[in-house]
Every structure is written in structure tokens, then in C-alpha cells.
Amino acid sequence: QVQLVESGGGVVQPGRSLRLSCAASGFTFSRNAMHWVRQAPGKGLSWVAFISYRGDIQFYADSVKGRFTISRDSSKNTLYLDMSSLRPEDTAVYYCAREGTGEAFDSWGQGTLVTVST
């Protein structure tokens, strides 16, 4: 079955960088576009970034544009999110999600918590 497992979260100081990973299994990773979605503590879901199935197209939320970079390595079945110039407001659980049936986010990982704090 489809499985997405995020890793790389942790506590980081403002202005520093962090890389999140999402290991995919149970499907042909290279055939699906992927997204990152985040959820601040006690808040709702917020879309972060998109990457096409071939990796040649990326889109970003305005709040992270220029600071975050989404990428993928189909040889490793892994999705990445490189985050730089981190701010306290970036504190959230970060989920990777597969764009599947009907362009829905049809599978989600369990999330990884990023805390930006001194």
C-alpha cells in the first residue's frame, strides 16, 4: 500500500536552514506530482509547495517563496523540502502528500514537526 514517511524535523534557530525528506513506497513515485502541506500548532492546513511528476515544475505559497525549495529524487523515491531563513512562523507539522486520483491529495505522511525558536 502507499506509504509516505517524513523525516528531518526538529528544533532550529531563526535564520537557520533545515531539510525535510519524504520517503515514498508502494507506488511508482515518478508518476505522481507531490506537495508539502503544513499545519501550525492548533491551526488549520496550509499548502506550502508543489512539484510535478517529472520535477521540472515547482510552485510555492507566497509565504515561503524564495526561502523554501521543493525537489525530488526518483532514483531514491524521495521528496525533499529545503527550508532556509527560517522564521518562528514556520513552526508547524509538515506533511508530504501525493497528488493522485482526480488531482486530490490522496495519500499523506504522518508529518514531521519543525520548531523554529531560540
Q: Which residues bind other proteins (CB under 8 A)?
A: 35, 37, 44-47, 50, 59-62, 95, 101-106, 108-111
**CB nearer other proteins, residue 27 or residue 47:** 47
DSSP structural state of residue 80:
E
List strand residue ranges (DSSP E) for 26-111, in order. Answer: 34-39, 45-51, 58-60, 68-73, 78-83, 92-99, 105-108
CB atoms within 10 A of CB 3: 12
**Would you say 17 or 25 has its CB closer to other proteins?**
25
